[in-house]
Amino acid sequence: MALTHAHGHSHGTGGRPLAARRAENTRRMWQALAINLAMVVAGVVGGIVTGSLALLADAGHVLSDAAAVALALFAARMATRSGTAQRTFGYQRGEVIAALINGLALVAIAVIVAVVAIRRLGDPPEVAGVGVILIGLLELAGNAWATWVLARGDRADVNLEAVLRHSAVDAAGSVAVVVGGVAVLAFGWDAADPVAGLLIAALILASSVRLIREPFDVLMEAAPAGVDVAEIGQAICAIADVVEVHELHVWTVTSGFHALAAHVVVAPGADRDAARRELEYLLRDRFQIEHTTLQMEEEADESALLQVQTGLQDS
């Protein structure tokens, strides 16, 4: 049996029903939003009082987290809306778009923090080390709490993963703030504060990579990580009476919702409906793909089609 023209497009995992996963993750994101808003106030006030760029940079990143969580919650809400005649999949891709926006926002924040930190390196202002350490520890506790809440959700959801990465980088940033405060207090090295700011910028930038790459792959309908399209094609061809599969496409609508379409050629006289049902079971049980569109064709049908196409080209 031959495997021809296999084109892969997407991404996917199995797991709990999409609605249950989204509801649980939404609850966790609301908790993270409340924690982040409290930390923004603490960070801004602390940064102004102590003169610490690292605290202000961390507060700015936490503010971006709050905005990221709000955007993710809005996208999750949109994703629950039913499809229409124009948008047959509804608004589920809104979650992917929100994750991409969050990733791009992280890059912008990293650049701004880095520029300000570099300017301060030449003439570092005096920083109140004790205040920086105390507020940094407070923010570290809050960031660790928010990260823990989010990490217990279903991380197959790229929308939740985007918010989680914001929060995890904030926790690492808070550690940098505390270390910078200790350096200022112990050694009188005021430049430690902008250095900590640069470290935070690097952490922010590193965390943005996946948030940009994965949503971009989904929007471009790239073959997903962990899904071997050639293996799917071979498994389809291993089904009794299947001769060939072509125009095989696999893609992701949103995290956890994967779809497949293919033209499947069966032997003359084969029971197409039985073969299609067997393929649907195979794709669901082995590859966790439940949304499928399979165009079943007999081998003779395809030969006749090729003859017609050849005749049209010759005419």
Torsion-angle region of residue 122: left (phi > 0), alpha (psi -120 to 50) or beta? alpha
- The percentage of the chain sitting over the pLDDT mark of 70, rounded to a whole number, equals 80
- What are the pLDDT digits (tens) for 96-149? 887 788 788 878 888 887 887 888 777 776 666 677 788 778 878 887 888 888
Domains in the chain and their CATH numbers?
A: 2-11+223-314 (3.30.300.30), 18-219 (1.20.1510.10)
Does the structure show a pLDDT above 50 at 281? yes
**How far from 215 is each of 3, 156, 160, CA to CA, in Å?**
29, 12, 12
**Of 256 and 176, which is predicted with more confidence?**
176
- The pLDDT value recorded for residue 276 is 92
Identify the residue with better confidence: 178 or 82: 178
Shortest CA distance to 90 belongs to which of 75, 78, 100? 78
pLDDT at 236: 93
The secondary structure of 37-87 as a DSSP string is HHHHHHHHHHHHHHT-HHHHHHHHHHHHHHHHHHHHHHHHHHHTSPP-SS-
Q: What angle do CA 84, 89, 91 make, to 5 degrees?
A: 85
Residue 197, both tokens: 């700011």
pLDDT score, position 224: 72
Query: How confident is the model over 216-238, as pLDDT tens digits?
Result: 888 888 777 778 899 999 999 99
Query: What are the distances in angstroms from CA 72 to CA 59, 145, 203?
Result: 19, 19, 21
* Measured CA distances, 190 to 44, 111, 122 (Å): 19, 22, 11
CB 12 within 8 A of CB 284: no
Q: Could you give the percent of the chain with pLDDT greater than 90? A: 13
Looking at residue 295, what is its pLDDT? 92
Average pLDDT over residues 280-304: 83
Q: Comparing C-alpha atoms, which of 131, 127, 118, 171 is closest to residue 147?
A: 171
Whether the predicted pLDDT of 211 surpasses 90: no
* Paired sense of beta strands 242-254 and 291-298, if any: unpaired
Positive/negative CA dihedral, 137, 47, 195, 127: negative
Give every CB contact of residue 116 below 8 A, 6+ residues apart in sequence: 53, 57, 194, 197
CA angle 150, 151, 156 (to 5 degrees): 100
Angle at 165 between CA 161 and CA 166, to 5 degrees: 120
pLDDT tens per residue, range 140-197: 888 788 888 888 777 667 667 777 777 777 777 778 778 877 887 777 777 777 787 7
Cα–Cα distance, 225 to 213 (Å, whole number): 11
Q: Given this model, what pLDDT does residue 300 score?
A: 66
For residue 263, list its beta bridge partners: 246, 295
